[in-house]
Amino acid sequence: MAIRPVAQIGHPVLRTPTREVTVDELSSEEVQALIDDMIETMRNADGAGIAANQVFESLRIAAIEVADNRRYPYKPPIPLTVIVNPTWRALDEETVTINEGCLSVPLRGDLQRHVTIEVSFLDREGIAHAEIHRGLTAGTFQHEIDHLDGNLIVDRIDPRTLATWEQFEIHQRDDFVRRIAEFVRDS
């Protein structure tokens, strides 16, 4: 396993829609090693998820995990989940305002995410799954699948809420954490 460099906003690989992986490719040593490296890179950077194009591989694969995350201490835990060729759909019209950051973007800000979604994907063994997710966890899945489509949080963020991580900590964090804790408790 190896930590790979993470592409930063402005690099075209983040703006190029990734291509689907065949089951044969998925079982190859190269792709399995890529998945191991994505997991290690995500954990090393305290990310809640990482998409393959963030480590310069334009394949429709992402990894998600939240466990005592220092960058996002308010997020409910998500077990390690590798999603290959994922698609999602909203199960209703409800949306929530979430303040998101990204390993590829130096700023964070408020954006809208669907609250209840169904995600369909293959796992790293090629087995198909369909899962329903809600709240911040649903937002994390939407964030990673956005990456795979060549989209970034800045496309969705209300520009007047953009902040560095340092300024967010000082001026916005307490209000956001209070609001989102209520949302997590009620949802």
From 57, 144, 169, 182, the catalytic residue: 144
Q: What is the DSSP code string of 120-155?
A: EEE-TTS-EEEEEEEHHHHHHHHHHHHHHTT--GGG
Tell me how far, at minimum, the Cβ of 51 lies from Zn ion, in Å: 7
Q: Which is nearer to Zn ion, 58 or 91 (CB)?
A: 58
Residue nearest to Zn ion (CB): 102
Q: Which is nearer to Zn ion, 61 or 102 (CB)?
A: 102
Active site residue 20: no
Site residues (vs Zn ion, CB under 5 A) = 102
Tell me how far, at minimum, the Cβ of 174 lies from Zn ion, in Å: 24
Q: Which is nearer to Zn ion, 52 or 102 (CB)?
A: 102
Q: Which is nearer to Zn ion, 159 or 186 (CB)?
A: 159
Tell me how far, at minimum, the Cβ of 143 lies from Zn ion, in Å: 6
Tell me how far, at minimum, the Cβ of 10 lies from Zn ion, in Å: 14
Name the residues annotated as catalytic. Answer: 144
